[in-house]
Structure formats: structure tokens, C-alpha cells
Amino acid sequence: MVYGGDALARQEGRVIMTPFVLPGELAAIEPVQEKPGLVRGRLIEVVEKSPDRVEPNCRHFALCGGCHYQHAGYSFQLAQKVSILGEVLRRVGKIEPPGEIDVVSGPEWAYRNRIQLHIDGNRIGFYEAGSHRVRNIDQCPVASPKLNQSIETLRGMLRDKRWPNFLRGLELFTNEAEVQVNVLDSGTRHVNRGFFEWCAEKMPGAMASSLEYSAAGHLFRVSHQSFFQVNRFLMDQLVETTLAGVEGDSVVDLYAGVGLFSLAQAKRGSRVMAVESGTSAVMDLEHNAQRAGIELKAIRKQSEQFLETLGEKPDWVIADPPRAGLGKYVVRRLLDLKAPRITLVSCDPPTLARDVAALLAGGYLLEGMTLVDLFPHTAHMETVARLRLG
């Protein structure tokens, strides 16, 4: 299995990539795209099954584009993700993983606190795999109970004449008591206040500009445009894993969001500079710290801009960048800064491999790595890498 959800086979010098197949299986596939040396296939039939194959928990699996691995037992998924992470590090970064990659996992079902729904006529659900056709969804086994209840509610509202027919996409975020409703796509038209009032009658919280979320010992205000982690079961463990061993008087938290790591580290006694470029997230971060009685410095800047002007060398840098990773410029500034320790949190193994390789080339040593499985049954994975200056 390779990163992205496919299984890889080789035949007569060609690489064959096919989803929903497991290692060791004999399968009949139909080629859907052919290039020199590469065939992308569609599974027709599993002739000889792997002992690790299980019955998917969702009747939409392999049609809906959300999950990749429901055909495999969860312990097997975790083992494969560790193997895939190691392969990406070697292939992309030309680096060896540091000994054994630790794994942190939690409940495999009902974990998501945020989903994006697409609407087309009387269909509401998720895009089908590899297309923009909406797959009509009644229940999603990886979504939280409150989100599944909300899907059912919206399905009923969709049949009402008050429903805005131009609405094409909604995002739902929940703390299991309230549901935040964000419009993703309404074309060129504006969704009026009456729609949100109607939603709030059926889904408390829909009218609110922010949601209160309890995690890692703190209460966080999360506004509409602020990022927050999606696995409702593993936030505490993610914070514990990321901050394991983090110490020193001064700590820089790059891409700090609403303060998930910053608040916890500042409470431990460090002087924390929390750097975040999003206006909404910075305002949430300041509010969350003030309410908790925690002193930290919230800085609204791009990480690149902040590192350019940072005069003092911090004892530790924590960085949780978006999928694009740190990038060359931030890595170069970190190498100039020479902080004794860096903890890098990544949701994309290829960019993690690229960034870690550049930091190693600049004098850092990779001390440890932990895979935190925030996205069971999907090909996505979160990784925490710990580096020290050699």
C-alpha cells in the first residue's frame, strides 16, 4: 500500500495502482488510465482475499470519496500507515525513520467533529470518489453522533420550500451540544439571515459566530474562519505527544491557530510567542488565553515575516503548518535561528519528508517520530517529528 490510498502492484515492468485492494490479494482490475510504465486501475473482483480484509462499516464505501481503508481491519491500517510513512521518508526525503515510529490511536468510528456537505438538487452528502457528483448520504460512520443527526435534519429541510435552491455546500462543526453552520458554496448569491435562524431552530448553535470547544484542559472559542482539529477523541493525546519534553524559558509556536498548543505550554511556565496569520484565529487565541488567565504573546504575522524579525533565539520551536508544510523559506530561517529543539507537526508525509530532510541537512538530528492517527479509515495521517540541533 502506498500514500494516497492505493495498493501497488508490478507487472511486466509496469506499476499498477488500484484502490480498495490489500497486499497479497489476487484481484481482477480494469485499467482506467494508462501511461508509459503506469496503469491506474479499478477493482472488479477480489479473487483471493487477504486475511486482513473486513466488511466495510458503511454501505457507501468505495463510492463516497471520503474513506480509503474501510476494507481493512483497523490494526492492519495502523501498521500499513507506519510502513507508508517510512516509505515516504525514504523515497522523498532520502532519510531513515528514527528507529521505531510510535503510534497514538483512539476510537476508529464517530470521531469527526467537522464535515463538509455538498448539495445537488435533492441530494446531500459527499462527493463520489474522483468526481464532483454528490453521493446521497444518510449516515456517516466516521462522523460524530451530532453530525449524523444534523445530516438527517438537513435532509428534511431540503424538502421544504424555504430551502435556498442555489445553496451547494455547507460545513458543519460541532462540540456535540451545538452545531456551527458555515456556507461553503452558494454561487454568486447570498444566503440570508432567515436561513440560519431556521437552522438554529433545529440545530442549536447555527446562528452563533463561534463555538466553544473543550480540549486539553482548556475551553477554546473557535470562530467560523478559525482552524481546529477534527478528531474529537485525540486532541488531548495530540497535545501531550507534541509537547512531550518541550521545556525552556522561551517557546515559539508557529501556525498557532486558536492556541491548542500555546495555552498548554504557557501553563507549564514557558514564555510563549504564538504566531498565527489568520485574523479570526488570532482573536480567538487572545480571547482563549485571557479567559484562561494565561499570559502569552499572540502575534498576527506570517511565519516567514515573524522569523525575519525575531531577535532572540528561543529554546524550542513548535510548528504545525498547513498541508503545504514549512517550505524552503521558513526552513532556511529556522536554520539561521538555530533553536536547540524543533517539534514539527505535519498532516502530509511528503512535505514532512521534504522539510525534515532540509533540517537534517542543516545540522539537526531526528530524535523521534510519532504517528497520531487523527483520520482512521482514510489515507490521511498526522505525524509529530522531534528534532534537536546536533
| Among candidate residues 162, 184, 213, the one where a domain is terminated | 213
Together in a domain, 101 and 250: yes
Together in a domain, 234 and 360: yes
Cβ(179)–Cβ(200) below 8 Å: no
Together in a domain, 123 and 99: no
Residues 200-209: tens digit of each pLDDT: 999 999 999 9
At a CB cut-off of 8 Å and minimum separation 6, what does 167 contact? 119, 183, 185, 186, 191, 195
CA dist 368 and 104 (Å) reads 14
Neighbours of 219 (CB within 10 A): 12
The CATH number given to whatever domain includes residue 157 is 2.40.50.1070
Confidence band of 69 (pLDDT split at 50, 70, 90): very high
Together in a domain, 235 and 355: yes
CA dist 232 and 113 (Å) reads 6
* pLDDT of the residue at 297: 97
Together in a domain, 316 and 345: yes
* pLDDT of the residue at 92: 97
The CATH number given to whatever domain includes residue 330 is 3.40.50.150
Together in a domain, 311 and 366: yes
Decide if pLDDT at 311 tops 90. Answer: no
C-alpha cell at 179: 452545531
Confidence band of 362 (pLDDT split at 50, 70, 90): very high
* pLDDT of the residue at 75: 97
Q: What is the dihedral of CA 105, 109, 115, 118, to 10 degrees?
A: 140
Mean pLDDT throughout 19-42? 95
With 0-12 / 13-18 / 19 or more C-beta atoms within 10 angstroms meaning exposed / middle / buried, residue 325 is buried
CA dist 254 and 264 (Å) reads 14
**Percentage of the residues of the chain whose pLDDT score is greater than 70:** 100
Identify residue 363 by its one-letter amino acid code: G
Together in a domain, 44 and 91: no
Please report whether residue 77 resides in a domain. no
**Percentage of the residues of the chain whose pLDDT score is greater than 90:** 97
Residue owning grid cell 451530532: 146
Helix axes 193-202, 145-158, angle to 10 degrees: 130
Beta strands in 83-209 (DSSP E): 102-104, 114-120, 123-127, 134-136, 169-174, 179-185
Residues 249-265: tens digit of each pLDDT: 999 999 999 999 999 99
Together in a domain, 303 and 252: yes
* pLDDT of the residue at 130: 85
Please report whether residue 267 resides in a domain. yes
Q: Give the residue numbers spanning the domain of 25.
A: 6-53
| Among candidate residues 181, 213, 245, the one where a domain is terminated | 213
Together in a domain, 100 and 156: no
Q: What is the pTM of this model?
A: 0.95
* pLDDT of the residue at 129: 87
C-alpha cell at 63: 463510492
Cβ(82)–Cβ(371) below 8 Å: yes
Helices in the chain by DSSP H: which ranges?
74-93, 145-158, 193-202, 235-243, 260-267, 279-292, 303-309, 327-337, 349-361
The CATH number given to whatever domain includes residue 38 is 2.40.50.140
Ramachandran quadrant class, 259 (left: phi over 0; alpha: psi -120 to 50; beta: rest): left
CA dist 374 and 112 (Å) reads 9
CA dist 296 and 121 (Å) reads 48
Neighbours of 190 (CB within 10 A): 11
Decide if pLDDT at 231 tops 90. Answer: yes
Residues 156-174: tens digit of each pLDDT: 999 999 999 999 999 999 9
Together in a domain, 10 and 123: no
Q: Cα–Cα distances in Å, from 5 out to 1, 72, 110, 378?
A: 7, 12, 20, 7
| Among candidate residues 182, 213, 244, the one where a domain is terminated | 213
Please report whether residue 173 resides in a domain. yes
Residues 102-158: tens digit of each pLDDT: 999 999 999 999 999 999 999 999 999 889 999 999 999 999 999 999 999 999 999
Together in a domain, 385 and 291: yes
Going by C-alpha positions, the residue among 323, 327, 316 that lies closest to residue 364 is 316
Decide if pLDDT at 185 tops 90. Answer: yes
C-alpha cell at 207: 446562528
* pLDDT of the residue at 99: 85
Please report whether residue 73 resides in a domain. no
With 0-12 / 13-18 / 19 or more C-beta atoms within 10 angstroms meaning exposed / middle / buried, residue 385 is buried
Mean pLDDT throughout 32-55? 96
* pLDDT of the residue at 156: 95
Mean pLDDT throughout 85-100? 94
Confidence band of 281 (pLDDT split at 50, 70, 90): very high
Please report whether residue 224 resides in a domain. no
Residues 285-298: tens digit of each pLDDT: 999 999 999 999 99
Together in a domain, 100 and 152: no
Cβ(345)–Cβ(384) below 8 Å: yes
Please report whether residue 221 resides in a domain. no
Domains contained in the chain, number:
3
Q: What is the dihedral of CA 199, 140, 214, 178, to 10 degrees?
A: 10
Neighbours of 10 (CB within 10 A): 8
Residues 335-360: tens digit of each pLDDT: 999 999 999 999 999 999 999 999 99
* pLDDT of the residue at 56: 97
Cβ(366)–Cβ(387) below 8 Å: yes
Please report whether residue 65 resides in a domain. no
Please report whether residue 136 resides in a domain. yes
Confidence band of 329 (pLDDT split at 50, 70, 90): very high
